[in-house]
Amino acid sequence: SLLTLGQAISIIMGANIGTTLTAWIMAGEASFNIANFVWPLFILAMLLIYKKKHETAGYFFFGIAFLFLGLGTLRQTGADMNLGENEAVIGFFSSFDPDSIVTTLVFLLIGGVLTMCVQSSAAVMAITMVLCSSGAMPIHQGIALVMGENIGTTVTSNLAALTASTQARRAAFAHMFFNIFGVCWVLCFFHPFVNFICSLAGNNLSVVLATFHTCFNLINTSLLIGFIPQIERFVKWVIKDKKQEKNVSRLQYIDKGLMATPEISVLQAQKEIVHFAERMQRMFGIARVLLDEKDKKEFEGQFERIEKYEEIADNMEIEIANYLDEVSNEHLSDETKAKIRNMLREIGELESIGDSCYKIARLIQHRRESREDFIPQQYTHLHEMMQLAGEALTQMMVVVSGRRDSLTIETSVEIERELNALRDQLKAESIRETADSHEYSYTLGSIYSDIIAECERLGDYVMNVVEARLGKRVLSFQGLQMNLGRKSVTIDGNPVSLTRTEFDLLQLLLSNRGQVLSRQQLMDTIWADVVVTDRTIDVHITRLRKKLGPYANYIVSRQGFGYVFEV
């Protein structure tokens, strides 16, 4: 699901060509001993794995070493069997008419079944090379086995994909279609084509088999590469979407179980988070539509969509979090672990965006039920606020979707500041208008103020998503910004000078906002190696408050127990 079907088909074509390298390695073993490369590769792999920085490269070379070991063992075992001198083996193959199409089809079937049984096309290729190079099996029958191996390996992948997603089954079917198509055109010109390959490759039958395998895939790819869109449509026609997969609450990129490589599982989760963010952006768009909707039936329909999206957001957060929890149990690099922590934060904030959208929709519904309407000036202000919130979501999508030229936090910070400033302005105006004017009731004014506040709160959640995705060590609350990397603090863009202790205090309180931290917790965290009294804490809190200006009152004392950054 990380790729579109068309992209997957292109990769399958390239992979089919790439897999011919295995045959060439086995065919070339006559001129070099593949076993000579095994132990140097093992040693190199272990050295790289020992150095954590190049651990991934170490595992790569470990796999290459095992591949060479397996191929060398297969060839050596086959050579030791002396199949060319075994009368029973020679008699079996000579009992078939080499010019008969039935013989070709029989060996094609044997190759397919054998590949399905041993679950390895490379093993079947090695067996075929041993039989042909020993003189036990004619080359025409060997090439038929290779064609059967090409089909057999795709049947295995189709069986494995039966319980997978629709996209996985389509990719497996496209692979099978590709190879069956190739076998069909080769069968039409089988003997002339085999004779041409033999004249091209010479007398070494292992090289003949490798050459056929390469030419088969190159020609097949050349014939079909221009028809990828048509193949995609055909595959979609054969394998249709499951009804349950059309359910909007279903995850699009995360399927049952983890990928073989944890890092690929993380990539899948990242794609799912982008999909999650897109849904939350659409949800806010529906909320904006509700503000101006006058038709009752249409309003109810759109509100039901909002309710459905809110349910989807809750489910997606849980499912993605569970998936990431499974991934975190695997062997991961420190970088991947940090990425998972940020992703968990992202989905939590995205779910909060969904909650804010739902609250905005509910407030608009309350306004409708009250049978009062906003005055034109209020509509104008609400549209301004929603426009800014929409811009924040758009910038969030730019960051979350990973467009590298736009991965800056400054744009999001600027939009967040504008949201905060507009919220403060409109809140102050609303208080004055409610007291001085009788154009609307207190209830309507309260709904208006709550929508404004919820839009600003949504902006906070958006900012948190951006920070998590960029991996920036930034804490923010409205216009208060802490850059943990630079050890700097700004209020509405203006720098604030804090001592190290004051900075650590603010970081601890802001990162645990809404949670009361006891004096003992503050002592243990900020003054771990120093004995201090309650008086010391109070003095530093007082100094910090003086420097925070409009945010001083957010740091609240709780009956002598401790302090909380109250939101």
Separation CA 76–CA 36 (nearest Å): 13
What does the pLDDT read at residue 355? Answer: 94
What does the pLDDT read at residue 39? Answer: 84
Q: What is the pLDDT of residues 166-211, one digit of tens each?
A: 777 888 899 999 999 999 999 998 889 988 988 888 778 888 988 9
Q: What is the pLDDT of residues 261-306, one digit of tens each?
A: 677 788 888 888 999 999 999 999 999 999 988 888 999 999 999 9
What does the pLDDT read at residue 359? Answer: 95
User: Which of 536, 384, 530 lies closest to 455 in space, CA to CA?
Assistant: 384
Q: Answer with the residue of higher pLDDT: 135 or 452.
A: 452
DSSP character for 203? S
SS3 content of the chain, % helix, strand, coil (to 5): 75, 5, 20
Separation CA 465–CA 343 (nearest Å): 9
Give the chain's domains with CATH numbers.
Answer: 5-238 (no CATH), 262-471 (1.20.58.220), 488-565 (1.10.10.10)
Separation CA 10–CA 8 (nearest Å): 5
If one counts every other C-beta atom within 10 angstroms of the C-beta of residue 85, the result is 11
Predicted structure pTM score: 0.57
The pLDDT confidence band at residue 407, using thresholds 50, 70 and 90, is: very low
Least confident residue range of 101-105, 375-379, 531-535:
531-535
| 3 state SS for 189-258 | CHHHHHHHHHHHHCCCHHHHHHHHHHHHHHHHHHHHHHHHHHHHHHHHHHCCCCHHHHCCCCCCCCCCCC
- The average confidence (pLDDT) of the chain is 83
Separation CA 425–CA 430 (nearest Å): 9
What does the pLDDT read at residue 250? Answer: 61
User: Which of 366, 365, 382, 551 lies closest to 454 in space, CA to CA?
Assistant: 382
Separation CA 37–CA 33 (nearest Å): 8
User: Which of 321, 328, 385 lies closest to 351 in space, CA to CA?
Assistant: 321
What does the pLDDT read at residue 219? Answer: 93
Q: Answer with the residue of higher pLDDT: 22 or 501.
A: 501
CA 186 to chain centre: 39
Indicate the length of the chain as a whole number. 567
Q: What is the pLDDT of residues 234-261, one digit of tens each?
A: 998 988 876 544 444 467 777 655 555 6
What does the pLDDT read at residue 245? Answer: 44
Contact 169, 162 (CB under 8 A): yes
What are 548's two structure tokens? 């925070």
